[in-house]
Structure 1
């Protein structure tokens, strides 16, 4: 049994990660300010975890928590692209300064950190699929915080911190908040109400959708690996357009409707697909569940 700290553990990925670690027999402490996470996400394991409501920018609190742990999964962050245009200073403060605090305490106690980066660091890529060495071109304040966190990771790695950044592509699965993410759950809600999916822009923008359970496995495998410092793409090497996504759902639900279109969102990336050869080779990690299969099964179950 090992002791792990998850920052942002009441969130989408964090709660699934906590469940998996508990299932393995590990001890889990969660630090979360509940800005966007929900305690209901931890309903299945609430009696088995140590939950602390607090802020990753709190030096004294974090120092006290960190020393008891064997590893830190750092997932706490502000995550809304659209909100980041309105509150860029808050995003810098929480995402970058908060991360610096986590890294500082982890280095002091010699604790390995696996943290959430994002495919948003690449912006609109020049070449596809996107490799880890592809150039960075953040096109919104949220993405800029992710780039700044990677620079911090490199700096701290040079001074002895074991730190791995996981560049998540578009994650899907149960418990995803429609306010802070993605198109999948927004579309699903409308389909459940027999309403047409609303698409921002022409719908040709394409994403690499990766299942949350696969993301959790990638995080744990990175933590358990002998690799001290790296950045990994966490995707599937397959892209699906937003229009395709809408049509998959409409077909699975057997509805006679068509998507409706609205103006494009500011800061929206046109095309994204991950080259995952590095994580496959380094960690022997492979995605297992496709967005199409998951959606078909979910909608079929709801209809029965």
Structure 2
């Protein structure tokens, strides 16, 4: 089949691309390289088509998507902290750009699986978080993701097949600062023999999900009989930021003590996904636990450069 991945040179998009190529699909990457890197596609660059484009460029996007069977929409600006100072740009790229994809889905009839975010829940009223729980974004980035969901509902009512995957904290090889960036920062510090710096008391609790499992969620959603819906993509397990820092220190065999700095604005206190809907309707569940992956990656030094570059 023919698939297009917007943001396909980014962290998650490039992993989706490699999987699709390995399973015999024709893949086109649409990316303006503002956040993504062509280096992420080195191993498949001769097996794909690459279009250097911005999702706000409707005509170029239309020309790229007109003959596709499905779109994995990963393109977005994704820094919570940056979103405070660039609110208009975040809305323009994340919301207006997403609506361009949805408009073309309506025109050409292809299915869309796109990256939503657990950030739309804000600080949840209860744990674990279910998909129908209240939405209370506490930063501009999260608001753009909720705006995207409202657009997805609107276009689904017009017949567009669109599924939103609410990623929790995605980690893995080639991860960016936007997704589970705390891992990248901690590993880089500790690898250099320096103590990791924690924003706040470190009791922030996170649900980390491996990028390979996220890829499977995307593929299963695209191939499913579900035409529209939103799904939590997490693990239903948690680790505190302080525990994460100490796990990384211990895995390197060092005796460092984390340093605590001020809390960051717009940082949620706790995330934990109820994933029963994804298990039931997409037949998906995560396979990789962060504790095991980190210990293995650090102790064997396998692919360690891919999370610290």
Q: CA deviation at 1:67?
A: 1.3
Structure 2: gaps of 5 or more residues: 305-309
The answer to whether residue 132 in structure 2 is matched with residue 136 in structure 1 is no
CA deviation vs aligned residue, 1:44-101 (integer Å, no higher than 9, x gap): 1111110000111111111111112100000100000000000000000000000000
The answer to whether residue 201 in structure 2 is matched with residue 195 in structure 1 is no
Q: How far apart in 2 are the matches of 1:50 and 1:181? A: 29
Match of 2:290 in 1: 291
CA deviation vs aligned residue, 1:95-122 (integer Å, no higher than 9, x gap): 0000000000111000000000000000
Q: CA deviation at 1:35?
A: 0.7
Within 5 Å, which residues of 2 pair with 1:1-304?
A: 2-178=1-177, 181-302=180-301
Conserved? CA contact 1:80–1:181, under 8 Å: no
Q: CA deviation at 1:178?
A: 2.9
Per mean C-alpha deviation after superposition, the further-off stretch among 257-266 and 178-187 is 178-187
Q: How far apart in 2 are the matches of 1:207 and 1:180? A: 12
Q: How far apart in 2 are the matches of 1:259 and 1:298? A: 21
Conserved? CA contact 2:71–2:113, under 8 Å: yes
Q: CA deviation at 1:181?
A: 4.8
Q: Cα 1:223–1:179, aligned 2, differ >3 Å: closer, same or farther?
A: closer
- 3-state SS of the aligned residue for 2:198? strand
**Superposition TM-score, scaled by structure 1 size:** 0.98
Q: CA deviation at 1:180?
A: 6.3
Q: How far apart in 2 are the matches of 1:217 and 1:179? A: 20
Q: How far apart in 2 are the matches of 1:44 and 1:132? A: 36
Q: CA deviation at 1:179?
A: 6.2
Match of 2:307 in 1: none
CA deviation vs aligned residue, 1:4-37 (integer Å, no higher than 9, x gap): 0000000000000000000000000010011110
**Cα RMSD, aligned residues only:** 1.1
State how many pairs are aligned. 303
Q: How far apart in 1 are the matches of 2:164 and 2:290? A: 24
- 3-state SS of the aligned residue for 1:46? helix
Structure 1: gaps of 5 or more residues: none
CA deviation vs aligned residue, 1:149-176 (integer Å, no higher than 9, x gap): 0000000000000000000000000101
CA deviation vs aligned residue, 1:258-293 (integer Å, no higher than 9, x gap): 111000001000000000000011111110000000
Conserved? CA contact 1:130–1:273, under 8 Å: yes
